[in-house]
Amino acid sequence: MHNFIFTGSRQAVKLCLFLFLLITVALQKSQAQTYSDNDVKITEEQIESYVANAISLKLFDDEYWHILLLYEKTLTGYKSSVETPAFFLAHDGRTNPKAELVADIRAFFHGENVKFFPARYKWLKQKLNIEDELCCKEWDAEYVAAKQNINPSAVYLVFPAGYMKNPASMFGHTFLLFENENKPKLMGQSVSYGADATNPPGFIYAVKGLFGRYYGTYAVDMYSKEILKYSNMDMRDVWEYKLVLSDEQLDMLLRHTMEVALTATRYYYISKNCTYYLFALLESAYTDENLLKELGNVAEPLKAVKIMYQKGLTEEPLYRPSLNTLINSERMLAGNKNADSVKKYCYGKLSISQLMAIVTTDDEKTNALRLASDYLKYLLSNSKITQDQYKQRVLPVFNALSKIKNKSVSELISSDYPHKSHDSRKIALSTGLDGNKIFEQTYFHFVNHSLIDCDTGLNKNTQLTFLSGSISIYPDGSNDNNRKLRLDAFDFANILSLPVSDSYFCSKAVNVIAGIEQNQKDAEESSLALRLKLFGGLSCKAGNPNQLYFLTGLDLYGNPFYDYYSDVFAGVQTGVLTGAGVWKQHVNCLVEQGIFKNNGCTGCNGIIGKSELVNMNRLRLNLSVEERLALSRNTAVSALYSYYGDYKKYNHKFCLTGHINF
Amino acid sequence: MFKKSVLAAALCIGLSAGAFAGSNVGPGLGGMLLGNQKGLLSQVCGVFLNGIFCNQTFAITFGTSGASGWSGIVKAPTEQFIAENMDFVAGDIAMGDGEYLNTVATLLNVEDVESFKVKAHDNFDVIFADADVTAAEVTEKLVALL
Other beta carbons within 10 angstroms of residue B14's beta carbon come to 22
pLDDT over 50 at B78, yes or no: yes
What pLDDT score was predicted for residue A419? 96
Q: Is the CB of residue A34 less than 8 Å away from at least one CB of chain B?
A: yes
Find which of B2, B60, B99 to mutate to test the A interface (most A CBs within 10 Å of its CB).
B2
Three-state SS at A184: coil
pLDDT at A605: 61
Mean pLDDT of A426-444: 95
Beta-carbon separation of A146 and B40 below 8 A: yes
Lowest-confidence segment of A1-5, A592-596, B72-76 by average pLDDT: A1-5
Pairing assessment for the beta strands A619-630 and A214-222 based on DSSP bridges: unpaired
**Cβ neighbours of A438 (radius 10 Å):** 12
What are the strands, taking DSSP E only, across A595-634? 619-630
- The neighbouring-strand residues paired with A326 are none
Task: Compute the nearest-CA separation of A34 from chain B (Å).
Answer: 7
**Per-residue model confidence as pLDDT tens digits over A551-577:** 999 999 999 888 788 889 999 999 999
* Preceding omega of A118 cis (within 30 degrees of 0): no
Q: What is the pLDDT of residue B25?
A: 23
Q: Do A401 and B95 touch (CB under 8 A)?
A: yes
For residue B85, give every residue at least 6 positions away whose Cβ sits within 8 Å of its Cβ, in sequence order, or none.
Answer: A186, A224, A228, B61, B100
Considering CB atoms only, which of A87, A147, A225 is closest to B29?
Answer: A87
Which of A146, A195, A392 is closest, CB to CB, to B39?
A146
Residue among A6, A83, A115, A116 with most chain B CBs within 10 A, to mutate:
A116
pLDDT at B67 over 60: no
User: What are the chain A neighbours of B91 within 8 Å (beta carbons)?
Assistant: 370, 373, 398, 401
pLDDT, residue A38, reads: 52
Buried b (16+ CB within 10 A) or exposed e, A116-143: bbbbbbbbbbeebebeeeebbebbbebb
Question: What mean pLDDT do residues A309-320 have?
Answer: 96
Provide, as residue numbers in chain A, all residues whose Cβ is less than 8 Å from the Cβ of B2: 168, 194-197, 199, 205, 214
Decide if pLDDT at A341 tops 70.
Answer: yes
Tell me the mean pLDDT in the region B88-105.
Answer: 95
Q: Is there a contact between A116 and B100 if contact means CB atoms under 8 Å apart? A: no
Q: Tell me, what's the pLDDT at B66?
A: 29
User: What pLDDT shows up at residue A200?
Assistant: 67
Q: State the nearest Cα–Cα gap between A604 and chain B, in angstroms.
A: 50
Question: Cα separation of A33 and A43, whole Å?
Answer: 17
Size of interface A-B (CB pairs under 8 A): 239
- Contacting residues of B for A107, CB less than 8 Å apart: none
ipTM of the complex model: 0.83
User: Among the listed ranges A13-17, A80-84, A150-154, A330-334, which one has the minimum average pLDDT value?
Assistant: A13-17
- Average model confidence (pLDDT) across chain A: 87
pLDDT greater than 90 at residue A278: yes
Rounded Cα–Cα distance for residues A399 and A103 (Å): 64
Residue A257 has pLDDT above 60, yes or no: yes
Residue A515 has pLDDT above 90, yes or no: yes
Residue A155 pLDDT class (50, 70, 90 cuts): very high
Q: What confidence tens digit (pLDDT) does each residue in A487-511 have?
A: 999 999 999 999 999 999 998 999 9
CA distance A570 to A553: 6
B61: distance to nearest CA of chain A, Å? 8
3-state secondary structure of A565: coil
Q: Which residue of B has its CA nearest to A7?
A: B8
Does A149 have pLDDT greater than 90? no
Q: Would you state the pLDDT for residue A270?
A: 85
- Is A183 in CB contact (< 8 Å) with chain B? yes
User: What part of A 402-421 touches B (C-beta under 8 Å)?
Assistant: 402, 407, 409
- Res A294: pLDDT: 93
Which pLDDT band, with edges at 50, 70 and 90, does A159 fall under? very high
From CA B88, how far away is CA B78, in angstroms rounded? 14
Cβ atoms of residues A277 and A193 within 8 Å: yes
Search chain B and give the residue with CA nearest A221.
B45
DSSP assigned state of A233:
I
pLDDT at A111: 82
Between A7 and A539, the higher pLDDT residue: A539
Average pLDDT (A415-440) is: 94
Least confident of A227-236, A427-436, A583-592, A624-633: A227-236
Q: Which pLDDT belongs to residue A638?
A: 97
Looking at per-residue pLDDT, the higher value among A75 and B65 belongs to A75
> In the beta sheet, which residues pair with residue A266?
A215
> Which DSSP symbol is given to A234?
S
Cβ-based contacts of B58 with chain A (< 8 Å) = 390-391, 394-395
Facing residue for A220 by CB, picked from B41, B87, B128: B41
Q: What is the pLDDT of residues A612-650, one digit of tens each?
A: 676 678 899 999 999 999 999 999 999 999 999 988 889
pLDDT grade for A170, boundaries at 50, 70 and 90: confident
Q: How far is A254 from chain B (nearest CA, A)?
A: 10
Q: What Rg value do the Cα atoms of chain B yield, rounded?
A: 17
